[in-house]
Structure 1
Amino acid sequence: MLERRPETRVRRLAAIAVAVVGSILAVAALVTAFRPEAERFTVTGLPTGVVGAAAASELALRVDVSGHDPNAIRLELDGAQVQGVVEGDDVVYRPGVLPDGTHEFSAEIPAGGPLGFLRSEPGATESFTVDSTPPTVQLDPTQPVRSYREPVTLRGKAIGAQLVSVGAVSAPAAADGAFEITLPRAPAGVELVAADAAGNTTRTPVPAIVELPRIRAVHVTAHAWSHEWLREGVLDLARAGHIDTVQLDIKDEDGVIGYDSQVPLARESGAATSIYDARAALARLHEMGLRVIGRIVAFRDPTLAEWAWHAGRTDWVVQSPGGRPYSSKYGPIAFTNFAHPEVRKYNIDLASEAAALGFDEIMYDYIRRPDGSLSSMVFPGATVDPIVSIAEFLRESRDPVHDAGAFQSAAVFGIAASRPDQIAQDIPMMAAHLDYVAPMVYPSHWNSGEYGVAHPNGQPYDIVLRSLEDFRRITQGTGAKVVPWLQDFSLGVTYGHAEVRAQIDATAAAGIDSFVLWSPVVRYHL
């Protein structure tokens, strides 16, 4: 037998190798031809776009595994196996807090067994990006304005923000974060909200922009304004430079509206009158450079209370536990129910109307519950404590009054600084919704020994100074100023120029440059 040459063996081995490779390729082609196309799982729960901090913490990635063994599903996040829970036909994975950046989530049933390569198991892979960093906001200082009738433009930078907004007004932020947003009036108690594409937000309180002008005012009733001699006496005070503001009654202690209000309930109840012409009065006072405070006696309102009671709207009236109108020193049926939405709306409608007419300020008086034990009175429909309800009324009223262009204030008892429960006047709670608080610190209304003053009525400087220092202390941080009511009437002690001046000096010593004088006969010692 002839010996084979080495090159023959090489050629033979090469031929065998080619045959083997060909067989493998043929088998692979056969497998490819007959293997079904891979089924894809459906993954839900991923928000569109970048996921912000709030959405990321609430993510629930749901894999629909209908028709498969949920326990065979392998989940991975960023290449590491994670554990889901079975909820019906879904396997759910809640990642919780995730670092910023792009993440990859996958779900599959691993192929198994010697013929696993012949099978194509279902799976899914999804990517998403987390951005939990909120914008950085810098609000530029804004020049104060002196009226809610003036528009205000806010400027600054909101780095990383897409949009900035204040209430319903919004504006885009530039690439460098610069923004400019113009509001129809100066805001009060609001925040500027800067939002990025991921929904992350930064809230920045907008500081007080309206600067309350100095107030040196006297109280004038509707009838006094209609009386030429009394009216001219008040205007003479202005001509002499003693006052810069007039407080003119809108609705008085009898519930009578001094001018022909167009508020429907004012007309239906008979409260609207023609004692004076509001437009003419405002025009004359404004021509003299005077500001006008419109006083609304809110919840002491015999006119509305009697009309409502006899019209079958008894829940509009404060009642006794026996279901009768609450009787007090103010009369057998004097107080309306501050908790009733229609009663609140009536007063707010009057305030808004007056502000739109041109009153520069709205001051609510008798914004309280009646005097007396709380157990002796019922407020139908009330769901919160009277203290909270009174403050909530002021919150409801603030925007309508500001939108109509006026400041909002409230006359309060002097004792409310230390005894808020006595008539439901929590000063800090109320002040949060006011431009200023107007405490009635009349010396004649204090008991002996209050604030360490032995005889308050005979020591007007001492009692006014100490009580106003207390009011300034408890209103700090509320944004509201303090403008006191001072006494220009005699009750137990005769009051004249010296006593009025002592109170004004005490007000100044307390760091307050404003005041309102009360005289029931509208004659003043200035």
Structure 2
Amino acid sequence: MRLRSIRRRRSTLLAIGAVVILVLAALVFVFGRSRPSAAGADARPPRLELAPTAAATSYRDPVTVRGKAIGAKQVSVGDRSVQPAKDGSFEIQLPHAPLDTTVVATGAAGDHVTIPLKVEVALPRIRAVHVTAYAWAYDPMRDAVLDMAREGRIDTVELDIKDEDGMVGYDSQVPLARESGAATTIYDAPGALKQLHDMGIKVVGRIVAFRDPTLAGWAWHNGHPDWVIQNPSGQPYSSGYGAIAFTNFASPEIRSYNRDLAVEAARLGFDGVMYDYIRRPDGNLTGMQFPGLAESPSDSIANFLRDCREPVHDAGASLSAAVFGIAATRPDEIAQDIPSMARYADFLAPMLYPSHWHTGEYDVANPNAQPYDIVFRSLQDFRARTAGTNAQIIPWLQDFSLGVAYGDAEVRAQIDATYAAGYNGFFLWNPAVSYHPGALAPN
């Protein structure tokens, strides 16, 4: 009897336990479906939407990024972060147009959503003339250029920062410019920039990059032979530009020097920086050595632009490069690969001087006497080589006489050809800084 009683109690307890388990399971099922846990809600990633961002006209323009980040506790662009409003809306102020960056929305559980942010910088039209440091310092030459600006014939001045001799026209504070004796006081850069900006004129600073006899000579005689392009016997490479004229574009110190000058100029207020002689010397490669070069000369040159782009943009200026006209079809002759360079430049400035083309080039019988034809046809190749990039083309045109007398008509023909090819800007080159205003229509 006692054993039968124990068995009955055990069965009763088991039945009660089973009922309790079923009730608890039902409660979990019901409440688990109808009331998700806070942790489960937080685990859902935020939903990020960006509003269209207005194009900037300068790398100095502030940029406002707006959008909605539903379910995010923080939205970040670079080192700038904000907390979204209750409805998810947010607004982030950036001090200048970024290069290529992202917007990141972070949820409570640490999960995040990322969207690329690309702010278009639509640079204003450029109609410019070249001005050397000495020309700017000489009243009659400077006044002639300023008269063209007042009359609306130009909207930009290209002012030399470092010239073909390697001399920096103003009192640069870049240490190597001072140590090598390159820094001068030919003109007052802040004063020049203020005068031109007060007139509404933009300023593009030209840096002659790797043709630099001042630094090359100093480096060779001060224990830095690897900063200089050499011949196979280990002596300085001699060319038509001089016995020690070209610095080594593969040298980290040479690259840093030219980058530092560009950043300094941008911080001073130059609207743009253009590298000239951003190439190897023309001639047979077998006669040249580039200490430390670990890639092709063309790749090294393009990657120099890549390395300069962000620092120069961050300092507020656009970045461009002057290139040979022949580079569109014969890039290896001077290590200027146009598609590669175009990936890292705001614009390329091909030197299309009619006097520099060979007879019959682009099926033009006499390029120097047919300025319209040679400029128009050569621009077609530059259009093709820069397709798929964001780089603009703003050509250098000829306003000097070499073999054929050039006046208003010849200069105007090149400008007309540029416009007909679909481009609306240009730089005029005259080494003597003497131009034909009559070729330039007032705007």
Q: TM-score range by the shorter chain?
A: 0.7 to 0.9
Is the alpha carbon distance of 1:284 and 1:198 closer, same or farther for their aligned partners in structure 2, counting shifts above 3 Å? closer
Name which of 34, 59, 63 aligns with 1:152.
63
1:183 deviates by 1.2
User: CA–CA distance in 2 between the matches of 1:161 and 1:491?
Assistant: 66
Going by fraction, where is helix more abundant, 1 or 2? 2
Deviation digits for residues 447-492 of structure 1, max 9, x if unmatched? 2333332322222112211222322332233222111111111122
* Contact residue 319 and residue 345 of structure 2 kept, 8 A: yes
1:137 deviates by 4.5
User: CA–CA distance in 1 between the matches of 2:320 and 2:48?
Assistant: 32
1:362 deviates by 0.8
> Corresponding residue for 2:170?
259
> Corresponding residue for 2:419?
508
* Contact residue 172 and residue 179 of structure 1 kept, 8 A: yes
- Aligned: 1:381 with 2:368: no
* Contact residue 205 and residue 270 of structure 2 kept, 8 A: yes
Is the alpha carbon distance of 1:188 and 1:453 closer, same or farther for their aligned partners in structure 2, counting shifts above 3 Å? farther
* Contact residue 133 and residue 200 of structure 1 kept, 8 A: no
> Corresponding residue for 1:318?
229
> Corresponding residue for 2:4?
17
* Contact residue 136 and residue 202 of structure 1 kept, 8 A: no
1:132 deviates by 11
1:159 deviates by 5.2
User: CA–CA distance in 1 between the matches of 2:419 and 2:297?
Assistant: 33
Mark the runs of 5 or more structure 1 residues left unpaired by the alignment.
1-12, 25-127
TM-score by length of 2: 0.86
Is the alpha carbon distance of 1:375 and 1:175 closer, same or farther for their aligned partners in structure 2, counting shifts above 3 Å? farther
- Aligned: 1:239 with 2:150: yes
Name which of 133, 138, 141 aligns with 1:222.
133
> Corresponding residue for 1:115?
none
> Corresponding residue for 2:364?
453
> Corresponding residue for 1:484?
395
Is the alpha carbon distance of 1:329 and 1:177 closer, same or farther for their aligned partners in structure 2, counting shifts above 3 Å? farther
User: CA–CA distance in 1 between the matches of 2:208 and 2:232?
Assistant: 25
> Corresponding residue for 2:114?
202
* Contact residue 97 and residue 119 of structure 2 kept, 8 A: no
Name which of 173, 183, 187 aligns with 1:272.
183
User: CA–CA distance in 2 between the matches of 1:450 and 1:133?
Assistant: 64
User: CA–CA distance in 1 between the matches of 2:169 and 2:89?
Assistant: 50
* Contact residue 155 and residue 181 of structure 1 kept, 8 A: yes
1:319 deviates by 1.1
1:513 deviates by 1.3
User: CA–CA distance in 2 between the matches of 1:133 and 1:450?
Assistant: 64
Structure of greater Rg: 1
> Corresponding residue for 1:3?
none
1:510 deviates by 1.5
User: CA–CA distance in 2 between the matches of 1:341 and 1:164?
Assistant: 37
TM-score by length of 1: 0.73
Deviation digits for residues 187-217 of structure 1, max 9, x if unmatched? 1333434455454543424141x22111111
Between Structure 1 and Structure 2, how many residues are aligned?
Answer: 410
**Secondary structure at 2:166's aligned position in 1?**
coil
Letter of the aligned partner of 1:325 in structure 2? P
Is the alpha carbon distance of 1:450 and 1:279 closer, same or farther for their aligned partners in structure 2, counting shifts above 3 Å? same
1:516 deviates by 0.6
* Contact residue 222 and residue 276 of structure 1 kept, 8 A: yes
Matches within 5 A, 1:33-72: none
Is the alpha carbon distance of 1:159 and 1:490 closer, same or farther for their aligned partners in structure 2, counting shifts above 3 Å? farther
User: CA–CA distance in 2 between the matches of 1:375 and 1:131?
Assistant: 65
* Contact residue 48 and residue 113 of structure 2 kept, 8 A: no
- Aligned: 1:398 with 2:314: no
Mark the runs of 5 or more structure 2 residues left unpaired by the alignment.
12-38, 438-443
**Secondary structure at 2:203's aligned position in 1?**
strand
User: CA–CA distance in 2 between the matches of 1:191 and 1:158?
Assistant: 14
Is the alpha carbon distance of 1:137 and 1:374 closer, same or farther for their aligned partners in structure 2, counting shifts above 3 Å? farther
Letter of the aligned partner of 2:116 in structure 1? T
> Corresponding residue for 2:278?
367
**Secondary structure at 2:100's aligned position in 1?**
coil
Work out the percentage of aligned pairs sharing the same amino acid.
64
